[in-house]
Amino acid sequence: MTARPAFTPVSPAELLRQSQAELDALFALLPAPDAAGVGGCWRGTLMAIRGLGWLPRGLAAGTYRLLATPLNPWRGKDFSGQAGANRWFGLPGLAFAGYRVRSMRSPVDGLPVVWLDYDLADNPAPLRGIRGEARQLGDNLLLCRMHWQGRAGLHRVLYFTLARAQ
Amino acid sequence: MTAVPNPGAPDAIVIGSGFGGAFAADTLVDAGLRVLLVERGPWRDTAPVRAAGIAQRSPLPRGRHAVTHLLRRLDAPLLPGGALALHAHGLFDIHLARDLSVVCSSGVGGGSHVYSAMNARPAVARFWHNRADGIEDARMQAHYDAVIARMGARAPRAGDDIPNFTGTRFRNDAGFTGDIEQPAMGFDFASRQFSANSYFGSADGSKVTLDALLLAPAMQRGLTVLDLHEALSIRRDAGNGWIVSLRNHRDGRYTHLRAPRVLLAAGTLNTLRLLFASRAQGALGEMPALGLGIGGNGDSIGWWARNDAGADYSRGTPCHGRFALRGEEDGPCITSFGVNGIDDLPLPRALRDRLRRDLILVGMGADEANGFARWRHGRLQLHYSREANPVLAQLQASFARIAQRSGKRVLSLPHCPVTVHPLGGARVDDNPRRGVVNGRGEVHGLPGLFIADGAALPAAPGSPPSMSIAAWARHVATGIARHGHTRTRQQQETCA
């Protein structure tokens, strides 16, 4: 087996400038990763946050770059088998807000996705309505979105990428 | 659940509209494929494009647009972020680097707007011989025959009475001769329009350009062209096809298109940027040979300060033609140009009159194509050694002899190589550790992804490379059609 160069996945800068609708279109085209293959620690970058869509694209991108700095305590996620947790104040940092992980059809578009379900007894009540979806943007790079499960259905909250931490 | 094929989705997306993209798209359309071509630049405002009914056009850099529409982008090491985006409608991109600087163009029709109109075969004999499986020199010659014929190109003749044509200008010159093989030119000699037709574009359409020759007519046969749409990344979709992410420069919006096959023909530098950026995102696997084999086709530029009284070298065909020192008729390819389009530049009249009396020399030769490109911090870096490419010194020596024989200085910057013909970086080779694409132009290990521009050339042709790029693109597209990737007529009718 030959050694392969380790490419550091880069969250594409142009994603930070895109709206939720534009990312929806991209997300719908992407393949789902193998849920068993997402194990490990992933660095997160937020984007397309609901409520910030009115910002000019350049300003929005700058805001999300700011949120990618240590000013934002959320650093990413980790996955272990059929479970995972968000990581705070560094990687691995502190674990808080866990979720169940499974492969299934997205209730949004009916296509394969890795689904994150925060409805766990260990989570505070306000977090238990969170749902997440992940698809493969590249090797070691996922495009994900977070929903809120309300009474009327799923509400898209934001997008984020996860790049496998080296 | 299987994905339902979208009858409106293209069979192929072609990125770029220069000699690679235009000939590839035209060939695929003729084979019955539904083709979408995306081009980051605009349609140019020329007479034939207007006549083709293209509504939205952008001016060439002349007159009051000479400054605003000249530059699109400047890449330089000391700039913040390494690059400055100037004007999405600008004609030229300039990539400044210590080892090798590059000037390339932007717009529907690509380099055909700014090139010299020389439609030449390689100066290197049997250029395609033994390059890779699936490439036969004889078959490639047939592609050259086809593309040169399509350009309507022929060599200028003495009877054409062309101002400043080297074939006649040096007839009685003791030091120089133009009585050597002259390249065919993609030029409408019958138009008798001999000004403002070269590197700043040809507004009157006297120079044959690909937007009018191939792309507008192909739109009548089903080709879709998205101008001012820049490809930012390529990645695989859920169904073993490809996703191309685009930015619309008109409104800043992003679009993501899917197709079973993608042909990269964005020009060497932009194709490499796209490949490197997409690979950095983990979207394209390893491609260990990406970046290898960079060259500048030996481009060497000089300013021949002739100051010939009464001369107006700004007139003529886009290039005046080849010439040689008498006694060195088998020497390297050296061509002469005037400051073509000078009357449209916002310069003082005295300066324009002075400049029109001088010549620009461009020499070309087969360099070793032994440079390489790297991707660092989101920027393309070119590494190229003058010392390792002796043709550059040979051409500088030719310039020195030209100066000596004429008694007029030839000014050049031998320590700052500049090319308008960047080639390689994603070259063809059967071995994935030496080349990025196979003999069909398909990227090793990435079915459905093809490279159809100068990035794939395996070596420097040593002559103007436009026809080599066009022939290669036609070869790639013909192979796609031949290998059963065509939507059958029945399928087209069913989906209509």
> What's the CATH code of the domain at B237?
3.50.50.60
Q: Which residues of B touch A14 (CB under 8 A)?
A: 232-233, 245, 247, 254
pLDDT at B150 over 70: yes
Percentage of chain B lying above the pLDDT 70 cut = 96
Let me know if residue B234 belongs to a domain. Answer: yes
Of B238, B277, B281, the CB nearest to A30: B238
Sheet of B379-383: strand order equals B292-294, B371-376, B379-383
CB contact under 8 A, A29 and B258: yes
Name the pLDDT band for B493 (thresholds 50, 70, 90): very low
Question: Which chain B residues are closer than 8 Å to A43 by Cβ?
Answer: none
Question: What residue type is B230 in one-letter code?
Answer: E
Residue B322 maps to a domain? no
B234 vs chain A: nearest CA distance in angstroms?
10
pLDDT of residue B496: 38
Interface test with B, best of A14, A23, A65, A133 (most B CBs within 10 A): A14
d(CA B365, CA B463): 6
**Stretch B289-318: mean pLDDT, rounded?**
97
Q: B245 to chain A: which residues are within 8 Å by CB?
A: 14, 26
What is the residue whose two structure tokens read 């197709």?
B259
pLDDT surpassing 50 at residue B72 = yes
pLDDT digits (tens, 9 = 90+) for B245-285: 999 999 999 999 999 999 999 999 999 999 999 999 999 99
Q: Out of B232, B237, B282, whose CB is closest to A7?
A: B282
Q: Would B228 be classed as within a structural domain?
A: yes
- The A residues from 7 to 36 touching B (CB cutoff 8 Å) are 7-10, 12-14, 17-19, 22, 25-26, 29-32
Return all residues near A87 (Cβ < 8 A) that are at least 6 apart. A41, A74, A75, A76, A77, A78, A93, A94, A95
Least confident of B17-21, B168-172, B256-260, B489-493: B489-493
B10 CB neighbours in chain A (<8 A) are: none
Best residue in A26, A42, A55 to probe B by mutation, most B CBs within 10 Å? Answer: A26
SS3 category, A156 = strand
Inter-chain Cβ pairs, chain A and chain B, closer than 8 A: 72
Q: What is the pLDDT of residues B73-126, one digit of tens each?
A: 999 988 988 899 999 999 999 999 999 999 999 999 999 999 999 999 999 999
The helix (run of H) or strand (run of E) holding residue B413 is none
B438 Rama class: left (phi>0) / alpha (psi -120 to 50) / beta = beta
Lowest mean pLDDT among B63-72, B254-263, B468-477, B483-492: B483-492
Contact A11, A161 (CB under 8 A): yes
Reported pTM: 0.94
Task: Mark yes or no for CB contact A12/B243 under 8 Å.
Answer: no
B217: helix, coil or strand? helix
Indicate yes or no: CB of A30 within 8 angstroms of CB of B237.
yes
How far is C-alpha B411 from the geometric centre of its chain's CA atoms?
26
Per-residue pLDDT reduced to its tens digit, A127-156: 999 999 999 999 999 999 999 999 999 999
Among chain B, residues having any CB pair with chain A shorter than 8 Å are 1, 232-233, 235-238, 243, 245, 247, 252-256, 258, 277-283, 285-286, 288, 378
Q: How confident is the model at residue B487, as a pLDDT? A: 45
**The pLDDT value given to residue B8:** 73
Is the confidence at residue B310, as pLDDT, over 70?
yes
Query: Residue B484's pLDDT is what?
Result: 58
Contact of A108 with chain B, judged by CB distance below 8 Å, is answered with no
Residue B343 in any domain: the answer is: no
**Helix and strand element counts for chain A (H, E):** 2, 8
Residue A161 structure tokens: 């990428």
Q: Is the model's pLDDT at B187 over the cut of 60? A: yes
- The domain total for chain B is 1
| Minimum distance, in Å, between the CA of residue A121 and any CA atom of chain B | 33
Query: How long, in residues, is chain A?
Result: 166
Q: Are B243 and A26 in contact (CB < 8 Å)?
A: yes
Q: B237 to chain A: which residues are within 8 Å by CB?
A: 29-31
Q: Which residue of A lies nearest to B284 if distances are taken between CA atoms?
A: A138
- Which residue of chain B is at minimal alpha-carbon distance from A12? B281
How far is A37 from chain B, CA to nearest CA, in Å? 15
For chain A, the domains span: 13-164
Contacts of A16 in chain B (CB under 8 A): none
Q: Which among A17, A26, A31 has the least Cβ separation from residue B256?
A: A26
| A141–B255 C-beta distance less than 8 A | no
> Does ipTM come in above 0.90?
yes
pLDDT of A2 over the 90 cut: no
SS3 A41: strand
Give the burial class of B122: count Cβ atoms within 10 A of its Cβ; 0-12 exposed, 13-18 middle, 19 or more buried: buried
Closest partner residue to B235 among A57, A111, A138, by Cβ? Answer: A138
Mean pLDDT of B468-472: 98
Verify whether the Cβ–Cβ distance B232 to A12 is below 8 Å. yes
The single residue listed with the structure tokens 């794939």 is B456
Q: Does pLDDT of A23 surpass 80?
A: yes
pLDDT at residue A1 in the model: 38
Question: What is the per-residue pLDDT across B426-457, written as a single tens digit (0 to 9) for each?
Answer: 999 999 999 999 999 999 999 999 999 999 99
Residues of B in contact with A110 (CB under 8 A): 1
Q: What is the enclosing helix (H) or strand (E) of B30?
A: helix B19-30
Cβ–Cβ below 8 Å for A7 and B279: yes
Task: Inspect the interface and report whether the beta carbons of B255 and A25 lie closer than 8 Å.
Answer: yes
Mean pLDDT (chain B) is: 93
Residue B404 pLDDT > 60: yes
Residue B177 lies in a domain: no
Q: Do A139 and B282 touch (CB under 8 A)?
A: yes
Indicate which of B243, B248, B249, B256 best probes the interface with A, i.e. most A CBs within 10 Å of its own CB. Answer: B256
Query: What are the tens digits of pLDDT across the range B354-381?
Result: 999 999 999 999 999 999 999 998 999 9
Q: 3-class DSSP state for residue B150?
A: helix
Q: Is B32 among the domain residues?
A: yes
pLDDT of B64 reads 92
User: Closest-CA residue in chain B for A6?
Assistant: B286
Tell whether B409 is covered by a domain. Answer: no
SS3 assignment, position B242? strand
Q: What pLDDT is stored for residue B5 in this prediction? A: 40
